Amino acid sequence: MPLRLALVLTLAAVVALPGCARLGLARGGAAAVPATPAGADTPRPMARPDAALQAAPARPPAFGGAASRPAAALDTTTAAERAAAVAAPDAGTVLGTVTASLGNPAEGGFWLTTALVTAPRQGAVRLPSGRSVAVELRPGPGAAQLSLAAYRALDLGLTDLPVVTVVGR
């Protein structure tokens, strides 16, 4: 039994010793710091060739920050178009009720994409409060999306998810 213990300890020392040598612990028990002559092999930072590259890269404006564009700037409809859309009667056939989210704000006009229609047609959306707006009903898979102009005409917040009644004409 003592022979086995001696063999295990010897084997452990043989395995551990090369690791200690790499750390500089094999001689004297303290880590040795390699001495390098000043200059020759010392890495130095290099200057960039173009001063423009030294400036911090431009970051996109934070959502809702001072540099972002307000909803009014993205809505390209005129006051006359908004008045006509709000004043339009919403008489027609009720196609259903959907929860709508804000659609692509870069796409102008009054529209609603919904799975309730299979071809583009005129219609309207009505809030439970009775407020309504005339829109072009567009077929689309998945969740219903309402245009920015329609959101603003209905006086909705951009993060609102209104439940609207869809009326087809």
Strands 132-139, 111-114: pairing kind: parallel
Q: What is the pLDDT of residues 96-135, one digit of tens each?
A: 999 999 999 989 899 999 999 999 999 999 999 989 999 9
Residue 91 lies in a domain: yes
Q: Does residue 164 belong to any structural domain of this protein?
A: yes
Is 40 part of a structural domain of the chain?
no
In a domain, 25, yes or no: no
How far, in Å, CA of 142 to CA of 163, rounded?
15
Placement of tokens 């959907």 in the chain: 98
pLDDT over 60 at 64, yes or no: no
CA angle 138, 75, 88 (to 5 degrees): 55
Tell me the whole-structure pTM to 2 decimals: 0.55
For residues 98 and 141, the answer to whether their CB atoms sit within 8 Å is no
Q: Which residue segment(s) compose the domain that 113 sits in?
A: 75-168
| Residue 67 banded pLDDT, cuts 50, 70, 90 | very low
Q: Is 101 domain-assigned?
A: yes
Domain count, the chain: 1
pLDDT band at 85 (very low <50, low <70, confident <90, very high): confident
Residue 64 lies in a domain: no
Closest to 169 measured CA to CA, from 95, 86, 81: 95
In a domain, 81, yes or no: yes
Average pLDDT, the chain: 77
DSSP state of 59: -
93: domain CATH number is 2.40.40.20
Residue 158 forms part of a structural domain: yes
